[in-house]
Amino acid sequence: MLEKALSGSKTYWAWIFALLVLIGIGAGFYLYQLNEGLVVTGLNRDVSWGLYIAQFTFLVGVAASAVMVVLPYYLHDYKAFGKLTLLGEFLAIPACIMCMLFIFVDMGRPDRIVYVFMHPSPNSVMFWDTLVLSGYLGLNAVIGWTMLNAERKDTAPPRWVKPLIYLSIPWAVSIHTVTAFLYQGLPGRGFWMTAIMAPRFLASAFAAGPSFLILMVLLVRKFTKFDPGNAALRKLGQIVTYAMFVSVFFFLMEVFTVYYSNIPEHKHHFWFLFVGGPLYLKGAMWLFVALAVIGLAIMVNPATRNNITTLAVGAGCIFTASWLEKGLGLVIGGFTPNPLGEYTTYTPTFPEIAIAVMVWCIGFLILTVLYKVATAVKEEKALS
Amino acid sequence: MDRGKRNFLKIAGLTGVGAYVGLKGVQAIGNKGTKAKKKLALVIDTRKCKGDCPDCITACHREHNVAERHNPNFKGPGPKAAQGIKWIWVSTFAGAFHEQIHERTGKRKEPVVVLCNHCDDPPCTRVCPTGATWKRKEDGIVTIDMHRCIGCRFCMAACPYGSRSFNFSDPRRSLKAVKPGFPTRTTGVVEKCNFCVERLGEGLLPACVTACTKKAMHFGDLNDKNSPASKALMGVHSITRKPILGTGPEVYYVL
Ligand code: SF4
Ligand code: SF4
Q: How far is CA B248 from CA A187, B118, B245, in A?
A: 12, 8, 8
Residue B165 in contact with ligand 1 by CB distance below 6 A? no
Ligand nearest to the CA of B241: 1
Rounded Cα gap, residues A355 and A32, in angstroms? 10
pLDDT digit of tens for each residue in chain B (255 aa)?
A: 455 555 555 555 555 544 554 554 454 454 444 455 899 999 999 999 998 889 999 999 999 999 876 544 444 444 466 888 999 999 999 899 988 888 777 655 689 999 999 999 999 999 999 999 999 999 999 999 999 999 999 999 999 999 999 999 998 888 888 899 899 999 999 999 999 999 999 999 999 999 999 999 999 999 999 999 999 999 999 999 999 999 999 999 998
Rounded Cα gap, residues B238 and B240, in angstroms? 7
Q: What is the pLDDT of residues A65-86, one digit of tens each?
A: 999 999 999 889 888 898 899 8
Question: Are A340 and B188 a contacting pair at CB < 8 A?
Answer: no
Which residue from B128, B149, B159, B148 is spatially nearest to B241, judged by alpha carbons?
A: B159
* Paired sense of beta strands B40-45 and B217-221, if any: antiparallel
Residue B88 in contact with ligand 1 by CB distance below 6 A? no
Q: Name the closest-CA residue to atom 5, ligand 1.
A: B118
Q: How far is CA A64 from CA A49, A194, A233, A334, in A?
A: 22, 21, 19, 23
Which residue from A301, A306, A311, A297 is spatially nearest to A248, judged by alpha carbons?
A: A297
Q: What is the pTM of this model?
A: 0.91
A residues 125-144 lying closer than 8 A (beta carbon) to B: 125-127, 130
- Say if residues A275 and A286 touch (Cβ distance below 8 Å): no
Residue B142 in contact with ligand 2 by CB distance below 6 A? no
Contacts of A348 in chain B (CB under 8 A): none
Q: Let me know if domain A2-383 sits in CATH 3.40.50.2000.
A: no
Residue of B nearest to A346 (CA): B82
Q: What is the DSSP string of A65-85?
A: TTHHHHHHHHHS--GGGTTTH
Amino acid at position B104, single letter: R
Rounded Cα gap, residues B148 and A96, in angstroms? 26
Contacts of A131 in chain B (CB under 8 A): none
Question: How open is the CA angle A266-A335-A96, to the nearest 5 degrees?
Answer: 115
Ligand nearest to the CA of A38: 2
What are residue A119's phi and psi, to 5 degrees? -125, 65
Amino acid at position A249, single letter: F
- Is the peptide bond preceding residue A337 cis, with omega within 30 degrees of 0? yes
Residue B182 in contact with ligand 2 by CB distance below 6 A? no
How far is A349 from chain B, CA to nearest CA, in Å? 11
- Say if residues A42 and B192 touch (Cβ distance below 8 Å): no
DSSP A157: P
Rounded Cα gap, residues B93 and B109, in angstroms? 5
Asked whether the CA dihedral B157, B158, B160, B161 is positive or negative, the reply is: negative
Residue of A nearest to B32 (CA): A123
Helix-then-strand count for chain B, H and E: 8, 10
Which residue from A140, B152, B75 is spatially nearest to B144, judged by alpha carbons?
A: B152
Contacts of B111 (CB under 8 A, 6+ apart): B50, B51, B52, B90, B91, B92, B93
- Say if residues B165 and B86 touch (Cβ distance below 8 Å): yes
The rounded Å distance from CA A116 to ligand 1 centre is: 21
Question: Are A37 and B188 a contacting pair at CB < 8 A?
Answer: yes
- Which CATH architecture is the domain B31-254 placed in? 2-Layer Sandwich (3.30)
- What does chain B come to in residues? 255
Burial of residue A24 (number of CB atoms within 10 Å: 0-12, 13-18, 19+):
exposed
The rounded Å distance from CA B240 to ligand 2 centre is: 25
Rounded Cα gap, residues B90 and B112, in angstroms? 6
- Say if residues A310 and A241 touch (Cβ distance below 8 Å): no
Question: Are B77 and A40 a contacting pair at CB < 8 A?
Answer: yes
Contacts of A60 (CB under 8 A, 6+ apart): A95, A99, A133, A175, A176, A179, A201, A205
Contacts of B97 in chain A (CB under 8 A): none
* Paired sense of beta strands B88-91 and B40-45, if any: unpaired
Out of A36, A108, A183, the one facing B76 most closely (by C-beta) is A36
Ligand 2 pocket test, candidate residues B127, B154, B165, B167, most atoms within 8 A of CB? B154
Contacts of A332 in chain B (CB under 8 A): none
Contacts of B169 in chain A (CB under 8 A): 36-39
Question: Are B129 and A108 a contacting pair at CB < 8 A?
Answer: no
Rounded Cα gap, residues A323 and A304, in angstroms? 23
What does the domain layout of chain A look like in residue ranges?
Answer: 2-383
Residue B188 in contact with ligand 1 by CB distance below 6 A? no
ipTM for the assembly? 0.93
Asked whether the CA dihedral A172, A176, A178, A179 is positive or negative, the reply is: positive
How far is B164 from chain A, CA to nearest CA, in Å? 8
- Say if residues A116 and B150 touch (Cβ distance below 8 Å): yes
Which residue from B142, B141, B146 is spatially nearest to B125, judged by alpha carbons?
A: B142
How far is A112 from chain B, CA to nearest CA, in Å? 6
Q: DSSP H helical segments within chain B, as ranges?
A: 3-30, 55-63, 93-96, 123-127, 154-158, 197-201, 207-211, 228-233
Out of B94, B149, B154, the one facing A341 most closely (by C-beta) is B94
What does the domain layout of chain B look like in residue ranges?
Answer: 31-254
Rounded Cα gap, residues A254 and A158, in angstroms? 46
Out of B83, B86, B149, the one facing A39 most closely (by C-beta) is B83
Indicate the helix (H) or strand (E) that contains A164. helix A161-184
CA atoms within 13 A on the CB side of B62: 10
Question: Are B150 and A43 a contacting pair at CB < 8 A?
Answer: no
Ligand 2 pocket test, candidate residues B85, B125, B133, B143, most atoms within 8 A of CB? B133
Rounded Cα gap, residues B15 and A115, in angstroms? 36
Q: Which residues pair with B238 in a beta bridge?
A: B254
Q: Which residues pair with B142 in a beta bridge?
A: B135
pLDDT digit of tens for each residue in chain A (384 aa)?
A: 777 888 888 999 999 999 999 999 999 999 999 999 999 999 999 999 999 999 999 999 999 999 999 999 988 988 889 889 989 999 999 999 999 999 999 999 999 999 999 999 999 999 999 999 999 999 999 999 999 989 888 888 999 999 999 999 999 999 999 999 999 999 989 999 999 999 999 999 999 999 999 999 999 999 888 888 899 999 999 999 999 999 999 999 999 999 999 998 899 999 999 999 999 999 999 999 999 999 999 999 999 999 999 999 999 999 999 999 999 999 999 999 999 999 999 999 999 999 999 999 999 999 999 999 998 888 887 776
CB atoms within 10 A of CB A120: 14
Per-residue b or e along A42-58, where b marks 16 or more CB atoms closer than 10 Å to that residue's CB: bbbbbbbbbbbbbbbbb
The rounded Å distance from CA B189 to ligand 2 centre is: 7
Rounded Cα gap, residues B46 and B60, in angstroms? 19
Contacts of B92 in chain A (CB under 8 A): 340
The rounded Å distance from CA B145 to ligand 1 centre is: 15
Contacts of A344 (CB under 8 A, 6+ apart): A44, A45, A46, A47, A336, A338, B82
CB atoms within 10 A of CB A351: 19
The rounded Å distance from CA B20 to ligand 1 centre is: 30
CB atoms within 10 A of CB B201: 8
Contacts of A118 in chain B (CB under 8 A): 130
CB pairs A-B closer than 8 Å: 150
Q: What is the pLDDT of residues A156-180, one digit of tens each?
A: 899 999 999 999 999 999 999 999 9
